[in-house]
């Protein structure tokens, strides 16, 4: 998929979030990258680049104290090539992007990986 189309799907996923969440993303930089770097893989404790679909780097809102300020934006990376590799059909890419964007934004709001996996597992069991 062309980068421009992929980026448009990421923007659409962000725009589909409820307004109360969108308003709290003012100091978050969301970028599309082809593949994770070796450092990003180490941070995520993964060995293979096709395993990491997205990554949140920053200080979750729940851990910010009164002294938090004058900092660089948090960063959410969405990795295009691993997402494409996991999706067999083109129409799966859009739903996978939405899932990854929501997952990484949830980290920004303070949810840890264990909690997110539990929520995602419950969601898939209801289908």
User: What are the structural domain ranges in the chain?
Assistant: 3-126
Residue 79's region, left for phi above 0, alpha for psi from -120 to 50, else beta, is: beta
Instruction: Say which residue, 84 or 113, is predicted with more confidence.
Output: 84
Neighbours of 122 (CB within 10 A): 9
CATH number of the structural domain 3-126: 3.30.2010.20
pLDDT at 105: 94
For residue 14, give the nearest of 71, 63, 54, 68 by alpha carbon: 54
pLDDT digits (tens, 9 = 90+) for 82-111: 999 999 887 899 999 999 999 999 998 887
The 10s digit of each residue's pLDDT in 21-74 is: 888 888 899 999 999 999 999 999 999 999 999 999 988 887 777 777 777 889
Name the nearest CA neighbour of 11 among 22, 24, 2, 20: 22
| Closest by Cα among 12, 109, 10, 89 to 54 | 10
The structure's pTM equals 0.87
């Amino acid at each position: 998929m062309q980068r421009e189309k992929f980026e448009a799907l990421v923007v659409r996923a962000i725009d589909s979030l409820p307004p109360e969440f969108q308003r709290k993303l003012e100091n978050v930089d969301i970028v599309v990258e082809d593949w994770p770097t070796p450092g990003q893989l180490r941070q995520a404790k993964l060995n293979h680049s096709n395993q990491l679909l997205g990554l949140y780097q920053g200080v979750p809102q729940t851990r910010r104290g009164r002294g938090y300020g004058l900092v660089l934006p948090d960063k959410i990376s969405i990795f295009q090539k691993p997402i494409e590799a996991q999706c067999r059909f083109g129409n799966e890419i859009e739903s996978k992007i939405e899932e990854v964007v929501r997952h990484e934004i949830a980290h920004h709001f303070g949810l840890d990986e264990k909690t997110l996996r539990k929520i995602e597992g419950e969601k898939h069991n209801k289908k």
